[in-house]
Amino acid sequence: MHRRPLALPALLVVAAVIAGACGAAAPAIADPAEILAKSVTALQDAKSVHLEATVEGTIKLDLTGTGSGSDIALTGTKLTADVDIKGGNLKANLAVPALLGMTADVVVVGTDTYLRSSFGGDKYAKSSTTDLGVPVDPGNPGASIAALKDWLAKPGVDPKKLADTACGSKQCYQVEIDLTAEELKALMPNASGAPGDGGIVLTILVERDSLKLAGATIKVTSSEVGDLTLKLVMSNWDAALTITAPPAAEIQ
């Protein structure tokens, strides 16, 4: 009996599959503005996302009402949230140990918001609104991209692409925007929360394969506001998610 020479053809098939897979990889993007614009486009079909945010550093707050703020350490502050992007619903938990161990739970379903905090008892307070005031519509990426491009083109914004970095099990683009206090004032002349000096450094992570946002780091340096670092991680994009109102027995 003659055996068919399978080894070489099999290796050629495997090599062809690998070559095809490598050839199908999305080309790298060098322009940081294009990376950010495409990350907004990727939101068009996004269904849900999980968020985790942490805060380190200090902020100046006037807790006594005397008119002079003091440094409050925000180390340990954490926010977790599940967001139903298509439905416009949200469920979040906040913990701020520095503010007398404050915790809060927030549920948003449609135009109804349910809030429960450690300062207000064990039941949710309900409020409703007909205007959610959402500035970005995930279903209308064209308008969002136009607004983003206009903002990126303003003097002082100047996004820069840093070296790619690992983000979880994936590789991410890194885009940095470094704004001085003067540039912030020029960009947001009517904003009341901008630092009087110092500035803000924003570093955005975008997954290379999906172009979805993976996270961001915001560093604020100011003698008036404080020195803060906020880290945001975004994961579980498009996971099945159902958010409902709290049980009636848990609402005031």
How would you write 58-86 as a 3-class SS string?
Answer: EEEECCCCCCCCEEEECCCEEEEEEEECC
Tens digit of pLDDT for each residue in 138-174? 445 566 667 777 777 787 788 999 999 999 899 999 9
* pLDDT for res 192: 55
* pLDDT for res 190: 65
- By mean pLDDT, which of 6-15, 137-146, 236-245 is the weakest? 6-15
Residue 14 inside a domain? The answer is no
Residue 249 inside a domain? The answer is no
With 80 as the cut, is the pLDDT of residue 54 above it?
yes
**In whole angstroms, how far apart are CA 89 and each of 48, 72, 85, 109, 240?**
10, 32, 7, 5, 13
With 60 as the cut, is the pLDDT of residue 35 above it?
yes
Tens digit of pLDDT for each residue in 187-235? 777 665 555 677 899 999 999 999 999 999 999 988 777 889 999 999 9
Residue 31 inside a domain? The answer is yes
23/82: higher pLDDT? 82
| Total domains present in the chain | 1
Residue 202 inside a domain? The answer is yes
With 50 as the cut, is the pLDDT of residue 8 above it?
no
* pLDDT for res 201: 93
112/71: higher pLDDT? 112
* pLDDT for res 21: 40
Q: Which residues contact 175 (CB under 8 A, 6 or more apart)?
A: 32, 35, 36, 159, 160, 161, 162, 203, 204, 206
122/26: higher pLDDT? 122
With 90 as the cut, is the pLDDT of residue 72 above it?
no
What is the chain's mean pLDDT, rounded?
81
With 60 as the cut, is the pLDDT of residue 108 above it?
yes
Q: Which domain holds residue 52?
A: 26-131+140-243
**CATH of residue 217:** 2.50.20.20
67/194: higher pLDDT? 67
pTM of the model: 0.77
